[in-house]
Amino acid sequence: MYKQFLFFTILITCFLSCNNKSGSTAGSTVYEVESLLSVAEQQVDKDIMIQGMVTHVCKHSGKRCFIAAENGEESIRIEAGGEITAFDKNLIGSSIKVKGTLKENRLSKEYIDNMEKDAQEKLDKEEVTSEQCEAELSNVSEMRNWMKEHNKDHYAIYYINGETYEVVD
Element (H, E) at 118: helix 109-124
Q: How many other CB atoms are there within 10 angstroms of residue 58's CB atom? A: 16
Give the model's pLDDT for residue 73.
Answer: 83
C-alpha 164/C-alpha 96 separation (Å) is 10
What is the pLDDT confidence band of residue 5, given thresholds at 50, 70 and 90? very low
Could you read off the pLDDT of 89-107 as tens digits, one per residue?
999 999 999 999 999 999 9
C-alpha 64/C-alpha 158 separation (Å) is 14
Task: Report the DSSP beta bridge partners of residue 48.
Answer: 100
What is the pLDDT confidence band of residue 3, given thresholds at 50, 70 and 90? very low
CATH code reported for the domain at 2-168: 2.40.50.140
Give the model's pLDDT for residue 27.
Answer: 54
Residue 163, pLDDT above cutoff 60: yes
- Domain-wise residue ranges, the chain: 2-168
Residue 12, pLDDT above cutoff 60: no
Tell me, what DSSP letter sits at residue 90? G
Give the model's pLDDT for residue 83.
Answer: 96
Compute the mean pLDDT over every residue in the chain, rounded to the nearest whole number. Answer: 83
What is the pLDDT confidence band of residue 62, given thresholds at 50, 70 and 90? very high
C-alpha 122/C-alpha 126 separation (Å) is 6
Could you read off the pLDDT of 142-155 as tens digits, one per residue?
999 999 998 999 99
Give the model's pLDDT for residue 133.
Answer: 76
Give the model's pLDDT for residue 25.
Answer: 40
Q: What is the pTM of this model?
A: 0.75
Please indicate whether residue 41 or residue 70 has the higher confidence score (pLDDT).
Answer: 41
